[in-house]
Each structure stands twice: as C-alpha cells, then as structure tokens.
C-alpha cells in the first residue's frame, strides 16, 4: 500500500473548517495451494481510490458548538478471514474464509452539538449515518459433499462479503461532576442497522449457490465510568459497558455486558503505584461476560451457542518509577493522519 494526503484547516470568526483528501494505491496478492497441487493459486485485488473528509464547526455561543462532518474510510480484512481451507471448528461446523474477500468501504456523515456547563460539566449529542459497502459478516450454509449430497448435521461457517449495511443512529453523552472529587462519564448510543445483499458460495461439490441476505434491527449500547478521588493520591473507579442484542446477516448476537472496579493508590512521593482490579464482576448473581450467538435459515438450519468467559478476576499490579522527569520529546502529530491510518 502507498498513500498520501493533504489537509487544509482554517477559522473565520465563529467558523472552523477542515478539508482533507487521501489518495491510496493498494495491490494485494493472496496465494494458497494444497500440497497435492503443482501450481499455486494466487488471487489479486488492486485499487487506486480517493478518500475525502471534511468537517465544519460553528460556535453558537461561548459554551455551545455545532459540528458536521463527512469521511470515507477503508476497513481491510485479515488473512484469517481469507483462508478458504475449511477447518473443523467442532463436530457440527466447518469454518472457512473467502480468498477473494473485499475490504469494507465506509461512508460516515455526522451532525452534533456540544455544550459546556458550569463546574466542568458538559453534554453532547451526535446524529450519524454510516454506509458500508462490501460488508463482511460470518454466515452459515448447509454443507454439501462432493457428490452433491446435503449434510444436514454439519454447517459451513463462512466469512464473506454479504452486500451493504446502512446504520442510522444518535449518540448521547455527558460529563457530570457532582463534587470536586467525583466524576461521571456517561455515553449512550441508539441505532438501527439494516443489512441487505447476497452470499455467493461454492460448496465442496463444486456448485456455486446464492443465498439472499436481509436483516434489520434497532440496538443500543451504554458506557458508564464513575471515578472518586480520595485525598491526593488514591482513586476508586467503576466502569460498566452494556451492548444490547444485535443483528447479524443470518441471526443475532445476544446482549453482552461487563462491570469492573479499580482501586489505585500511590506511595513514596507518587513513585510507587498499586492498582487492585476486580474485572468482570459477577458473584454468581449476573450473566457477566457471557454472550449467545444464534444463526438460522428457515426450513434449513438453526444453531445457537452460549459463550461463557472468565468472571470475577482479581489482579494486583505494582509499578515503581525511578525517574519521574517529564518526557520532553516532541513528535509530529496529526489527528487526520491517526484516524485515516
């Protein structure tokens, strides 16, 4: 990959603007072959594309700003999702990738308002629309043997481009400081996601089959962070992240949540720091760090698996700083470059 970008920023009275344009050239060669094959199979994908971005901000008042923005980005796939050799995930599933998998191209439009309040408090709201071309999803089909026979007890799980995804939503957030030493950061996201397209898949019998994809759902997420500072060198922080059930191309992923608690204390003129963490709080009363993934196709198959991960993990970390001098090194930094690359 080779790329370069140019950015123009400026301000006039109550207006601030930024316009950027990135040109990228990508040449991809993916090679795979069975040991029994004399000639390797190489799959090429090349493009030369422009990725524009722009933002415009207006200062309504000293404490209130309105901002609108547009950006076009690329989300590349991984080699794992391109590996087309089927592996036995377990007794009921073959899992494989797509050796011609395309990257996702994302267009994002945003309109938001931010308001600063007294005492370090602030609130914001952002409405957005996101369009994804070549959306990558994990989908399932019934397995076919080389003689064309259907294996109705085994599924092919495939990573593939399933079409396009359109998401429209609103993100709300606030920073609240009830007291000088107590800070709340709250973020909420409500959105509707619609996936439309088709899966084209060649089975072991050599026959390519097309499966229609259509899925739509309204979802939400919640992020909470509350921190209490004790004295000058101790703090207690609680975080809670919640993601509602969300749709996939052929099914649904259940809700997922995780509460965590962290206590931090500094000693010896702030050179020694002790951090005690309680991760994925559950105590046998919740369903923390647990998610059910379900996929189905009418009159063909239904599969569901509940993934249960570790909970109630306690860790103690001690760190000592021998030289607390501030690093005076300065590096070139670009918000545009960080986001694009």
Q: How many helices (H) and strands (E) does the chain have?
A: 1, 21
Helix ranges (H only) for 160-209 are none
In whole angstroms, how far apart are CA 284 and each of 187, 240, 244, 261? 27, 17, 21, 17
Q: Answer for the pair 217, 199: CB distance below 8 angstroms, yes or no.
A: no
Residue-level pLDDT at 301: 84
In this predicted structure, the answer to whether residue 142 has a pLDDT above a threshold of 60 is: yes
Neighbours of 108 (CB within 10 A): 16
Express each pLDDT in 278-325 by its tens digit: 999 999 999 999 999 998 888 788 888 899 999 999 999 999 998 766
**pLDDT tens digits, residue range 221-236?**
999 999 999 888 899 9
Res. 150: pLDDT tops 80: no
pLDDT at 327 over 80: no
Instruction: State pTM to two decimals.
Output: 0.83
Q: For residue 103, is pLDDT > 60? A: yes
Predicted pLDDT of residue 298: 81
**What's the pLDDT tens digit per position in 53-68?**
999 999 999 999 999 9
pLDDT at position 146: 65
The token pair at 33 is 């072959």
pLDDT at 329 over 70: no
| C-alpha span between 33 and 41 (Å, rounded) | 6
Residue ranges per domain, the chain? 2-340
Confidence category of residue 337, pLDDT binned at 50, 70, 90 = very low
Work out the percent of the chain whose per-residue pLDDT is above 90. Answer: 61
**Beta pairing class for 164-179 and 122-133:** antiparallel
Percent of the chain at pLDDT above 70? 91
Among the ranges given (130-139, 174-183, 293-302), the one the predictor scored with the smallest mean pLDDT: 293-302
3-class DSSP state for residue 338?
Answer: helix
Q: Is the model's pLDDT at 340 over the cut of 50?
A: no
Mind listing the pLDDT tens digit for each residue in 184-237?
Answer: 999 999 999 999 988 877 766 667 778 888 889 999 999 999 999 988 889 999
């Amino acid at each position: 990959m080779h790329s370069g970008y140019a950015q123009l920023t400026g301000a006039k009275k109550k207006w601030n603007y930024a316009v950027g344009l990135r040109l990228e050239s990508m040449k991809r060669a993916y090679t795979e072959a069975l040991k029994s094959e004399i000639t390797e199979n190489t799959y090429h994908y090349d493009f030369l594309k422009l990725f524009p971005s722009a933002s415009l901000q207006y200062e309504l008042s000293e404490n209130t700003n309105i901002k609108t923005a547009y950006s076009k980005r690329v989300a590349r796939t991984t080699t794992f999702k391109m590996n087309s050799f089927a592996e036995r995930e377990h007794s009921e599933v073959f899992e494989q990738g797509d050796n011609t998998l395309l990257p996702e191209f994302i267009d994002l439009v945003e309109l938001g308002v931010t308001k600063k309040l007294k005492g370090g408090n602030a609130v914001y709201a952002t409405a957005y629309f996101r369009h994804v071309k070549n959306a990558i999803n994990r989908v399932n089909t019934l397995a076919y043997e080389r003689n064309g026979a259907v294996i109705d007890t085994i599924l092919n799980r495939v990573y593939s481009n399933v079409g396009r995804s359109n998401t429209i939503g609103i993100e709300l957030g606030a920073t609240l400081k009830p007291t000088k030493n107590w800070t709340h950061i709250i973020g909420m996201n409500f959105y509707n996601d619609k996936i439309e397209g088709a899966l084209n898949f060649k089975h072991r019998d050599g026959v390519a089959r097309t499966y229609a994809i259509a899925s739509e759902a309204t979802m939400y997420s919640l992020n909470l962070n509350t921190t209490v500072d004790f004295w000058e060198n101790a703090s207690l922080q609680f975080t809670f992240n919640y993601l509602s059930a969300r749709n996939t191309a052929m099914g649904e992923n259940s809700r997922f949540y995780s509460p965590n608690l962290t206590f931090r204390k500094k000693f010896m003129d702030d050179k020694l720091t002790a951090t005690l963490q309680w991760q994925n709080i559950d105590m046998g009363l919740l369903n923390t760090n647990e998610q059910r993934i379900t996929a189905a196709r009418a009159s063909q198959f239904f599969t569901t698996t509940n993934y249960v991960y570790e909970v109630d993990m306690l860790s103690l970390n001690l760190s000592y700083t021998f030289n607390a001098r501030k690093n005076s090194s300065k590096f070139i930094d670009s918000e545009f470059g960080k986001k694009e690359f």
